[in-house]
Structure 1
Amino acid sequence: MHLSYLLHLFAGLFLLASSLALADIQTPGRPGTQAELRVEHVRQTVLDILSYTRWPVEPPALRLCVLGPTEYADSLFHLRQQANGRRVTVSRYSVGDPLIPGHCDVIYLGDVTEAERLALFAHLQGHAVLSISEKDGPCSTSSVFCLQVGDERVRFNVNLDALALSGVKVHPAVLKLGRADEARP
């Protein structure tokens, strides 16, 4: 009888531990699948880039604007503040929205046409706006940072010409890291 009681107790503890472990794995906001991990890596990369970027007049809250269809921006909409405590607000805009220059400090670009991209950046001239693109492989047009999302990590390229036109300053170590990523296949 004593052995039976111990076996039942052990089985109950095992079930409890298993359900707690399963609940921990399936906690909302905690990435589990490869796709969720990539989204989380993008979120962290964007936050890291923002923390090393300076605007001519530092905004009290960064206004991050998501434009176009995106694959990795979901977790950006849950941002509330940077590690330094600065608030972050995230909004979605249509690529051609005339409010973008006055309402965005950071632009996260998804899948937009080249014509939309060129028109957007022509409209942004004279405004201090950092741009990060999901879909600009060689990083040759317009965006300052171009993400290359992989299963293990997010790499990025830096377009120094776009940075010079953006009106923002990025710490040289981040630029060096982007250049190192360009050299990798």
Structure 2
Amino acid sequence: MLIGELFQKLAGGESMTTICDRLGIHRRTISRRLNHLGYQYDKDKKQWLWRGAGEEPVTLTITEDLNTANVIYGNHNITPVVPYAPEIPIELSHECLSPDELQDVRFMLEEWRGRSPEDQGDRSLYKQVKNLPHYESHQKEKKTFVIPIDIIEEFDRFATQERLNKSDLLQVALQDFFAKYRG
């Protein structure tokens, strides 16, 4: 629907709510689009008034999203309002970093994530948890162990910090233990 048609219907006595319901667009969306273009609602006169610069865009299609580049203009040459985005003259990519600098960035990223890069190998903890085997038996058993409270608190802190399920973490630890000592 063209903006001009919208204003004709409003002047003919139709309510904005009725028109918006027919279009399937919320009245607040239409109001926002009109404000974006330069219209302002006058509460005293109970009508939309053109306050923008230049010619009034009555041939603009109001049903299109006016905040994007998909604005449909009738016969008007209206420049859409585009938010300011400064141009960054330097193109940043991994090519402008030396291999040593790139390694430093990776190290800082792993440190920032709370993981030590030295600990990240082919068998990282996260890969092990992700690749836990699916056993044919879906049965699980609950066991009680007596372990010093210091170890339990450290285990809880580690699981929370790394956002890992405690059962999965314990399963990986036991599998590593068996692989190392079973022979």
TM bracket (short chain): under 0.3
What TM-score, normalized by structure 1, do the two folds share? 0.23
What TM-score, normalized by structure 2, do the two folds share? 0.24
Q: Give the structure with the larger strand fraction.
A: 1
